[in-house]
Structure 1
Amino acid sequence: MGGVQMRPVELAAIRAGDVDLAFRRWDRPRVRVGTQMRTMVGLVEVTSVDRVPVRSLTAADARRAGAPSLVALRQGLDRVHADRPVYRIGLRYAGVDPRQALREEVPDAAELGAIREWLDRLDRASSTGPWTRATLLLIDELPAVRAPDLAHRMGRDTLSFKQNVRKLKERGLTESLDIGYRLSPRGAAVLDHEGHPRPSRDRSEPEPGIPLPHLGAGATRALTALGVVRLEQVAGLSFGEVRALNGVGPYALRRLREAMDAAGLAFLDEPDTAM
């Protein structure tokens, strides 16, 4: 989130409306009022930025920031850069990331031409040579693979590889997963239009069902290691089995339960919520 780094559990609380403040020790403000930051839960908007004395913090502030207590909030602020002033940042959930809808839009002929020209400009501007189509094809070939492994396959360092993928994501051509990436329908349309040989064309159709929600890399890795990639498969496990997996914490469990409730599913040892 730019200057306001937030954990997944805090982002989920902002989306739910349970948290609307953050406190940070900065040498100067690192965000501006009105800025909308793209996060894993959608857009989060900065509604206020104020420098405040530590002694002015209250229990209500701690509660609105998601801290267990005022003492815990103050201790957290004193843990790092205790010599810097404290800033109180107001936050609100501002809706779905527009790139989410863009990824699903298959471009028409005019859009395809514009996207291809944009990709060509990126390739011409690169000091290391063309990379756009190779990156799209690699992500298509190896979805949900760690960025360092993909970067190695391309002979790139991880940081520059991620920066390049971020450019493609801005145009809705790729999507970030808890681990790695995948090609969007929009990105697939571009490759298909240009006639690139795609390994995904020869793959069998993915197993039908509801994909796992964003759970964090650890939880996703633990479930996929068991071959669990759909909510319907989670419903074949007990709550205790899932909770015992290494990497599955309270945030992942809450996200799973919310997604399963919405789909009318339940853990194996819990009553089904479907009507």
Structure 2
Amino acid sequence: MLAAETVKFFGLRSTWVLLVVTAVLMVGFAALSAWGIASFAQDGPSGGPGGPGGPPGGSDFVHTVPSSGLSLAILVLGAMGAMAISGEFGNRSIAATMTAVPARWPVLIAKAIVLTVVTWVVITVCELLGYVVAQPLLRPAGLDFAFDARLVPQIMFLSGLYAAAIAVMGLGLGALIRNTAAAIVVLVAILLVFPILVAIFQQEWVQWVSAFLPSTAQSVTLDPTASPGKLDVGGSWAVIAGWPVVLLGAGIALVQSRDI
């Protein structure tokens, strides 16, 4: 099953296009952020890290440069996850797949595994490339940093897990809605619209709701300059893992119970 889904996944032209777009966003934004931070630090009234002219949060802020494009890249990967299943519903090829696998649920599990592995590898490689590209741009301002600097390895290798969770969320939504555009709209609402809405209100219960959004959990786990949230790092990772599990589980349940 895994081999078949891997071949199917990489056999789509859209997969390669979206992976290339992801790489361009990640590496491009890392270079752009590094250039912007270095220029600001050099031109500011006090150009050292953490100084009035330096980046906010000092060196911790600079450590997030390789993942500057992550917030856009996850939208691309989430769309890729949705297309991995909704496209099959659209062209009716899902009927042949489910005929070959009457149990149905192994198909979605195999797709989720392929998405998770590919997404983690792509994001991790892009983070490493972003780090390499950013260092020469940061060096003139004295802001370059070692690979083993505080939180740098964790950010680089764990960002891929967050991106994989978003890709599987897209897969779950695609299975639930069976329409690529609608699944992407819902995913964008969860990742971008809901955080803006809850940020408008300061009530205690609203802040607790915000803590269970993927974007809030990501800032707690992967942003060293973020303020402490309602949940600790462990709880935030549980939120990140819970979203794809719930959506994929709901997608599997509907695929099992509805006609193809």
Q: State the TM-score bracket (shorter-chain normalisation).
A: under 0.3
With normalisation by structure 1, the TM-score equals 0.25
Q: Indicate the structure with greater strand content.
A: 1
Higher-Rg structure is 1
With normalisation by structure 2, the TM-score equals 0.26
Relative contact order, higher structure (CA 8 A, sep 6+)? 2
